[in-house]
Structures are given as C-alpha cells and as structure tokens.
A and B are shown apart, each in its own frame.
Chain A
Amino acid sequence: MSVNDLFKQDLKVVNLGLKSFYSDLKSQGVRTVQVNWKPKAGGKKKMLDLLSKINKVK
C-alpha cells in the first residue's frame, strides 16, 4: 500500500510508546490501539530445540 493509497484510507493507528499520543487519537475518534509494550524476551534467535535440552538432562 503506497503513500498515495494511504491518503485515500481512514487512518488506523497502532501506538507503541507514549500513551498520550494514543489518548489524543482516541479523543479525535481515530481508530487506534495502544500496545502494552515491553522489550522483547527472547530476541530474534533461531527456534529453540527442546529435544536437546531433554536429552542433555537424561
């Protein structure tokens, strides 16, 4: 969806961070959602291998 396409749509905003931005959007009747954001737990590592953990313990 290009910039010019965006201009034709209703803005629907996901807010990550300061809640006041979200509140301001809400007060204007804009469709918006506030993410309950915290830094990531596991990072972008590869998929874990449970089997290796179990085998190791056994």
Chain B
Amino acid sequence: MKEMNTLLIANDLVEFLENHHDYLATVHSVFPNAVNLLVSEDELITITHHNEITPMGLTVDSSESFTNYLQPGDKVILNVDLINSSNGRVCIHLQNTQIWESGAMTDLAPRSVDEVDQINHQLTKWLGEQPALGLLPLLPRLTNRAVDTQRADDNIYSRYIADDLEAFTNAMAASDWELALNMADRLVGFGMGSTPSCDDFLAAYLVVFKIAEAVNPGIYPWVSEFNKAVANKAKKSTTLISANMLKHAGNGKLSSSHQKLVKTCLFIEKSDPLQLASQVLKHGATSGGDFLLGLVCALAWYRNSMMDYPKEGESAWVEARQSQPVPII
C-alpha cells in the first residue's frame, strides 16, 4: 500500500470534498505525472506531483509514476481527509495541507497597456526561439512577422488549421466576438493530444477575456456568454479532459504554472515572465506551447482593446474594488 501525503489542494476541490462523503469516483486516465478521477458524469478531479496543481486538483509528495498504482476503471473513495483506492494499492492523506487558491482574489493593480505590450513583446520573441511543436510553427503568421520560409518542422495539424486559427484571431482583433465564436467551431477539439492543441490555444483567450471583464466591469458583457458557449461546445466536440480544462479556463482558472504567468502579464508584480513561461513549457508537453501561442495573441487583443478604454478601465477597476470583491486571477 503506497501512502502519499497531499502538499497542496485547490480550494474548489476542498469545497467539493466537504460536500461529499465516501464519494465513489472512477479513475478516468493515468499518466506518469497525473491521474484524473471522474466524478459525476463529466467532472474531473486531477491528482498530480511535480508542483503543478490544477483547479479541482491536489498535488502529492510522491514522485513515482502513477501508472504503478492505478489504471483507468479503478474505483477510488473520496473523503475530506483521505482518498483511498479500492484496489488497496494507494492511499492519499489530506490532513494539514495547504490550500491553493484557484481563481483567487488579488489585491494587485492591473498593468498599464504599455507594460502589457512590453511583456508581450518579450514573450513573443522568446517563444520564437523555442522548439516548434504543436501550433508554434504558426507563431510568425499569427503575430504578423514575415513568414520564415525555411521554417523548420511545421506539422500536418498546424498546416491544416492555420487559416481557421488566423480567422479567429483576426475576428477578435476586430472586436467581433460573435464572428470569433463562430470561428471557434472550427477549432475546438482540433489537434494532437488529450488536450487538443486548439483547446489549449483558446484557453488562453478565455482566461484573458475573464480578466479583462473583471478589470473593466460592464465593458465586456459578452465574455460570460462567450466563455460558456466555448465550454459547451467543448462538451460535445473534444475530450473530457479538455472540456474540463476549458470550463475552468472560462471561469478564469488555470493550472498553477499557467496561472502564475497570466497573472504577471496582466498585474503588477515582480515575477519574471520568461522564467514562468519556461515552467509552462516544461509542464505542458505541446500543450504548453499551444497555450503560450494563444496567450501572446490574447495579450495583443487585450492591449488593443484596452487602448480603446484606458481611463474607463482603470477607474472602473478602482470602483469595483471599493464596492465588492470581484473574483479575478
């Protein structure tokens, strides 16, 4: 029997466990660094190690591959202080763990448009130097650099989706969210991996939209409809893992490394964006790169959009802070 201790648990998972006792979940998928448990019809709980925690998730102190202990279909019993596999092979203790705020409140001030622009320049340049996996070969095209004809290693997926991806980013850049939502039909579920590339790309947009809306209440009333619509599309058009990911992203929640990066891009704090971006790449397989591509595009949208409403944005944020706490990343 392998005993593990929980290091960190997401606040939304704490809430779930407090409301459910002896809850029977099924192992949905197992990776060396993560296990997904299916609760209810389509909700996933994610257990990880390596310090990367997700919404509705927890991290443990073991570093062995989870495939040693669990396989899809195994039953797991959930309690607020203990998680037990019914095959008797693993048991996770939950006492005295730290709580991780997914989608936490922040007291931080939003960055100025120029600062966001500067950070995005940095990120984009750095991203251009990274291995061209997944959708990354499209970086020059989507950020409007001269297309590099001796671009190495673009793949069948990136080639096929290039036009659709560009149509989406153009629609958003033109502030036509309805058109963009339509374009998203051509993206959700497309690409390699158990979180298809385009989903990771879109997740970045959803989170940035959510933040834009929170920082400027009333200016982006379409965001919640947009994000919900994408999450609903995802339920039908993509993998369960990805649908969960997009649902959380729509609510402004990401896994910890992604969350830290987005936070430092949009709010005033001292982290190094490139260092955080490396962490995202490290944890994500190509998901990391696809997310980052979406992020640099979304930040460009954000900067562009904020140019139209600079004063309103800042004063609106100040007002909002004074009236009621708004959940922002």
Contact = CB atoms under 8 A, between A and B. Distances in A.
A40 B144 contact: no
Interface string B119-143: 0110011011111110011011001
Given A38-B153, A39-B131, A41-B137, A54 B173 contact: yes
Contacts, number: 80
14 contacts: A39-B131, A40-B128, A40-B131, A40-B152, A41-B137, A42-B125, A42-B145, A45-B146, A45-B148, A48-B128, A50-B143, A54-B303, A57-B170, A58-B174
B322 to A, nearest CB: 32
B127 to A, nearest CB: 7
Contacts of A12: none
Contacts of A42: 125, 127-129, 132, 139-140, 145, 148
Contacts of A50: 117, 120-121, 124, 143-144, 300, 303
Interface of A: 36-43, 45, 47-54, 56-58
B124 A43 contact: no
A3 B111 CA distance: 47
A41 B300 contact: no
B203 to A, nearest CB: 20
A48 B128 CA distance: 10
Contacts of B40: none
B130 A40 contact: yes
Nearest to A54: B304
Contacts of B128: 40-43, 45, 48
Nearest to B122: A47
B150 interface: yes
B270 interface: no
